[in-house]
Every structure is written in C-alpha cells, then in structure tokens.
C-alpha cells in the first residue's frame, strides 16, 4: 500500500520518500512501482519521460529521521494500535512542527494515535483503497482532536494527487469498510452454509451487481490478515454479530493463507 501511495503522490508532482525498516522492503516497493509504470509504458498509457518524472519524485530510506522535512507523513504499517502509537511517538519527535501526521489505518481509532503526540490537532486519517494506484477514493478521517486547518490541508493534498476525497468522522470502519465488511463476512457464511460455491458467489456478485470482483477475490486482494483485523475491530467497536469474523477466515490466516500476497487465500494463485 505504501508503494501505491508514494506512486500516486509522485504522479501528482509531489516529492515522496518511502521509509521502510529494511532495504529488502524498499527494494520490493520500488520493484512494484517500476513494474506497474513499465507495464503502462508498454500499453502506451504513459510515455517514458513521464515515467522518469514520476520515478524521480520518489526516494527511499530506512532512516525515519530523513522524514524531518516532510509536510505530510502517512503511516501505513501493520494494523496494530500499539505499533502505530509507537511510530506516532517517534514521528512526533522527528517531524517538523508544521507537519501533518496521517494514518492510512482501515479501522483503528485515529484519536488513539493523535493522543500520543504533542500535536493532536495535526493528526488525521488519509485512507487509500486497494489498489491505491487505481481506486479513486480517499477517506479523510477527522478525529475529534483535528483542527480545521489539518482537514483542509489533507483535503488539498488529496485533490492535488487527483483522488476523490470524502470526509468522515473517526468511527471504526469509516464509510467503506463499515459497509463492505459485513458483506464480505456474510459471503463466507454463505459458502460455509453450502448455499453456493465460492466461484458461483463471485460470479453472482459480479454479474448481478456489476461489482468489478466477487467477495472472495476481493478478500484475497485486501489480504485475509487485514480483513480479519478489520472485522475484529468493527466487532469490538459495534458489538454487532455481522462483524464477528467467520471461523473459516481465522483458519486460513492461521495457516498462512493470506490472499494474493502469499499466493493463496480463498483461491490459489
């Protein structure tokens, strides 16, 4: 997701620095970006000069301190509040005073990240959708602590990178995931009840609702570990059993079948 966000920003003419903990992660992010852009050049959708301009806007580092001059920092680490809070504490120290600290969390409470910093008014959510280079939507999440200026700057940034921003309050799942995940979870229930095969459920939702992909293909795209953590957060937050993660999802995650990224999830790739 981080690679996708950096690419989208770079396309919008913004200089982006990707920070990861290891050189291997950075190499894989650059490989993803290079691969996607080269495919577009091959398809004639992008010229070489434009590709080079986008690539020139992207740099990488393993050193968090290299982000000290950034205007906006968007974290996109694992969906675990403690990990995110630790990162926000560090970012608060190294980021310049005017910088906005944003989270790409799918469901976690943004105010819980804001409150560990000394700039809670400059913390918000900037939430992209998978694949970030393709899907037009970005949710701009407003925790109770955020200032109007922070939300305006985040909105301006989203517009500058050519995405469609929507504003939403800091409630678990925001707009999209709060509506999408009960549907995805119920698809697993339907499969488990033997109502139809996985392939037929996917075909039905594509052909019957004009969705670009069916629920099982989408779960595999999002990642089953991410999907499980989103459902757990939604369930804990709303107490609604529609959000209680189906045991089959837990089972696949426990077996390391995480979706496309591990080449196996509901489907095998």
Q: Where are the beta strands (DSSP E) in the chain?
A: 16-19, 58-61, 72-75, 100-103, 123-128, 137-142, 164-169
Q: How far is the CB of 139 from ligand CAA (least distance, A)?
A: 9
Question: CA-CA distances (angstroms) from residue 259 to 56, 123, 189, 226?
Answer: 32, 31, 18, 10
Which residue, 77 or 135, has its beta carbon nearer to ligand CAA? Answer: 135
Catalytic residue among 139, 185, 227, 229: 139
Q: How far is the CB of 132 from ligand CAA (least distance, A)?
A: 8
Which residue, 57 or 107, has its beta carbon nearer to ligand CAA? Answer: 107
Which residue, 111 or 221, has its beta carbon nearer to ligand CAA? Answer: 221
CA dihedral 127, 121, 77, 3 (to 10 degrees): 50
Which residue, 97 or 136, has its beta carbon nearer to ligand CAA? Answer: 136
| Strand pairing report for 16-19 and 137-142 | unpaired
Catalytic residue among 106, 109, 227, 229: 106
In contact, 214 and 184? CB cutoff 8 Å: no
Catalytic residue among 127, 185, 227, 246: 127
Separation between Cα atoms, residue 72 and residue 78, nearest integer Å: 19
The residue ranges that bind ligand CAA (CB under 6 A) are: 36, 39-40, 43, 45, 106, 129-131, 133-135, 176-177, 180, 212-213, 218, 222, 226
Residue 106 annotated in active site: yes
Give the DSSP letter of residue 268: B
Q: In what order do the strands lie in the sheet with 72-75?
A: 72-75, 100-103, 123-128, 137-142, 164-169
Catalytic residue among 76, 104, 109, 177: 177
Which residue, 119 or 235, has its beta carbon nearer to ligand CAA? Answer: 235
Residue 42 annotated in active site: no
Residue 177 annotated in active site: yes
Full DSSP string of 172-201: TTTTHHHHHHHHHHHHHHHHHTTSS-HHHH
Catalytic residue numbers read 106, 127, 139, 177
């Amino acid at each position: 997701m981080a690679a996708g966000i950096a690419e989208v920003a770079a396309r919008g003419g913004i200089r982006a620095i990707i920070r990861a903990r290891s050189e291997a992660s950075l190499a894989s992010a650059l490989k993803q970006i290079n691969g996607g852009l080269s495919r577009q050049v091959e398809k004639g959708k992008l010229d070489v000069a434009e590709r080079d301009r986008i690539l020139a806007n992207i740099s990488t580092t393993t050193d968090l301190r290299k982000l000290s001059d950034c205007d906006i920092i968007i974290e996109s680490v694992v969906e675990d509040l403690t990990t995110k809070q630790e990162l926000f504490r560090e970012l608060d120290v190294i980021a310049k005073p005017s910088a906005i600290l944003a989270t790409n969390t799918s469901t976690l409470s943004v105010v819980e990240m804001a409150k560990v910093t000394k700039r809670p008014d400059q913390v918000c959510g900037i939430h992209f959708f998978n694949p970030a280079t393709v899907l037009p939507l970005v949710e701009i999440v407003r925790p109770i602590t955020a200032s109007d200026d922070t939300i305006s700057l985040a909105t301006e940034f989203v517009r500058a990178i050519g995405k469609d921003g929507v504003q939403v309050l800091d409630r678990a799942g925001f707009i999209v995931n709060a509506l999408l995940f009960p549907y995805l979870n119920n698809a697993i229930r339907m499969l488990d009840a033997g109502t139809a095969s996985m392939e037929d459920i996917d075909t039905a939702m594509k052909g019957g609702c004009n969705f670009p992909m069916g629920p099982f293909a989408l779960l595999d795209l999002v990642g089953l570990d991410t999907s499980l953590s989103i459902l757990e957060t939604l369930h804990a937050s709303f107490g609604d059993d529609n959000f209680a993660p189906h045991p089959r999802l837990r089972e696949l995650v426990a077996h390391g079948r995480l979706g496309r990224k591990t080449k196996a999830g509901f489907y095998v790739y």
